[in-house]
Structure 1
Amino acid sequence: MLISEIEMISPSTLEECLLILSTEGTELRLIAGGTDAVVRMKEGKWLPEAWININRIKELRHITEKDGAIHIGPLTTHSDICRSTLLQKKADVLVEAAREVGAVQMQNMGTIGGNIGTASPAGDTIPALYVLNAAVELQSVNGTRIIPINQFFTGPGRTILKQNEMITNIIIQPQADNEIGIFQKLGPRKAQSISIVNVAISLKMGKDRQCLEGKIAFGSVAPTIIRAKKCEALLTIQPLTDDIIENIAKVAWKEVMPITDVRATARYRRDMSSALLERGLYRLMRRWESK
């Protein structure tokens, strides 16, 4: 099947889109920015009978704070995230991750819903969503369900999303005044390529360098994003001096589970996971001390 032979359907409302998705016996795929879809089509993958272009559904593009949580529509672009004063103040780690998603043109077109739906272990915004305790809202004509982000992915390119469902909202927990976050990425070319390793860190700080609670999520080192639980447990034992940070980073080397592929060896990914975590924690401490 040629790309030009695939039908394109463009609903203008969420209700209309959900009705189309409920059609049985037809292979359908959603498309928004198309930054991943176009590449997959050129590779001979992702060739459904019809594409559903959801760009006209305005209600799916928003960043709002409601009932103590921040709601982000799936059509919100990475540039929208970077420009949001709300997210800059209450979800800095997500803003930093969005800034690393490809070149500016890709940030303008690519959407957070697409980044999640593609389910790549190297997706840059996904580790940030993990440390923000995100949940994904899924809708179909049959109803709505809300799934914690760590339960949404089942493997590379695979999710629990049903054929008749779509992502309609991403819900994150805002950072408190004493919380700081950072996103670190290693790629062959800065901001232009798939991550070899990435890491998101969020820390809730007390006096001096005492961490009260910490969350660390690595990407591109396992079939799905992983939380570094052993490293997290060490964050709160004693103040985060430079020596303690170095020791925590060494634990990350054993905690990640990377593979060797055309972009990097497993050992290199382990080394870089440790290095990125160490650098990220150093930078967070400098940032905290300058507040």
Structure 2
Amino acid sequence: MKVSEIDMVTPETVEECLYYLGDKEKTVRLLAGGTDAVVRMKDNAGRPETWINIKGMNSLRYIREEKNGIHIGPLTTHTDIIQSKLLQEKANVLVSASNEVGGIQIQNMGTIGGNLATASPAGDTIPPLFTLDAQIELSSLGGKRMVPISDFFIGPGKTVQQAGEMITNIIIRPQAKNEIGIFEKLGPRKAQSISIVNAAIILTMGEGPRECLEGKIAFGSVGPTIIRAGKCERMLSLAPLTEERIRDVADAAWKEVMPISDGRATAKYRRSMASSLLARGLYRLMKRWEEQ
């Protein structure tokens, strides 16, 4: 199938884009980086009657800090995130994840808004957004609404985004100076494969040796949507994160995740790897904290 067989429009403004999205007479779909959409179309999935090409809409490509958090435009690429000094300083867990998205070509083309809209449980940037308490702004001809990321996903490939809506802003909280974050991924990097398991961790550290005041842990590719490891999070502040304590927290992850078996890995393997990734991430964070 050739792309030329499908109509394409290129709006210049968000308002014009929303007008096209509001057309109920034909099926439409947004096209940004196209790293997922074009692949799905070649597999005869997700083919619209009209593409709405928003790749060049620079008004939706930005990273800036405001009073209520760091604002990231949905057309911000993974390369933009990697190179952002602001995010390197105040959201390094997201920078770390963007570094693991495919290869250089995918990082240059793929967008954070596309990663969210695709709603894959294996999406690399999504677990960090959970740990950063992201808020998703959805806009339509009827107005705007904010959705906490914890409420945004309702299943594999499914979100609360309605027909006629598009993501127009993503707001995350900046990491405090006593917060450290890391992203861990299991996947054949050289093959640019999607994650078998991934995990994002943010710890708020106290003044005592390895004292963790609180933590946030989000796993990807181990359930129908991203899973927050609540039990593991509560265990983080009960005692200093010694090597023994880290093992105990990691062991608890086995019961937190709900993976399936598929062509990439068995459920049992994913459970084991979720524990291993959590342990590795916590060990690395403690080493980094002690070296500061």
Residue 257 of structure 1 aligns to a residue in which SS?
coil
Residue in structure 2 matched with residue 11 of structure 1 by the alignment = 11
The answer to whether the 8 Å contact 2:72/2:169 transfers is yes
Shift of 1:23: 1.2
CA deviations over 1:127-180 (Å, ceiling 9, x no partner):
000000001000001000000001011100001111100000000000000000
Stretches of structure 2 that go unaligned for 5 or more consecutive residues are none
Residue in structure 2 matched with residue 285 of structure 1 by the alignment = 286
Amino acid at match of 2:116: I
Shift of 1:55: 1.3
How many angstroms apart in 1 are the aligned matches of 2:135 and 2:255? 28
Quick one: percent identity of the two aligned structures? 65
CA deviations over 1:106-139 (Å, ceiling 9, x no partner):
0000000000000000000000000000010000
How many angstroms apart in 2 are the aligned matches of 1:145 and 1:68? 16
Normalising by the residue count of structure 2, what TM-score does the alignment of the two structures yield? Answer: 0.98
Stretches of structure 1 that go unaligned for 5 or more consecutive residues are none
Amino acid at match of 1:288: W
Residue in structure 2 matched with residue 251 of structure 1 by the alignment = 252
Amino acid at match of 1:266: A
Matches within 5 A, 1:37-76: 37-76=37-76
Aligned residues: 291
Matches within 5 A, 1:133-152: 133-152=133-152
Note if 1:174 corresponds to 2:168.
no
Residue in structure 1 matched with residue 264 of structure 2 by the alignment = 263
How many angstroms apart in 2 are the aligned matches of 1:138 and 1:42? 28
How many angstroms apart in 2 are the aligned matches of 1:219 and 1:191? 19
CA deviations over 1:25-81 (Å, ceiling 9, x no partner):
211100100000111011110111101001121110000000140000000000000
The answer to whether the 8 Å contact 1:98/1:124 transfers is yes
Residue in structure 1 matched with residue 194 of structure 2 by the alignment = 194
The answer to whether the 8 Å contact 2:139/2:145 transfers is yes
Runs of at least 4 residues of structure 1 off by over 4 A?
none
Residue 192 of structure 2 aligns to a residue in which SS?
coil
Residue 101 of structure 1 aligns to a residue in which SS?
coil
Residue 176 of structure 1 aligns to a residue in which SS?
coil
Residue in structure 2 matched with residue 96 of structure 1 by the alignment = 96
Note if 1:272 corresponds to 2:285.
no
Alpha-carbon spacing, 1:177–1:85, altered in 2? closer, same or farther (3 Å): same
Residue in structure 2 matched with residue 229 of structure 1 by the alignment = 230
Amino acid at match of 2:106: M
How many angstroms apart in 1 are the aligned matches of 2:190 and 2:66? 35
Residue 16 of structure 2 aligns to a residue in which SS?
helix
Residue in structure 2 matched with residue 115 of structure 1 by the alignment = 115
The answer to whether the 8 Å contact 1:138/1:165 transfers is yes
The answer to whether the 8 Å contact 1:3/1:47 transfers is no
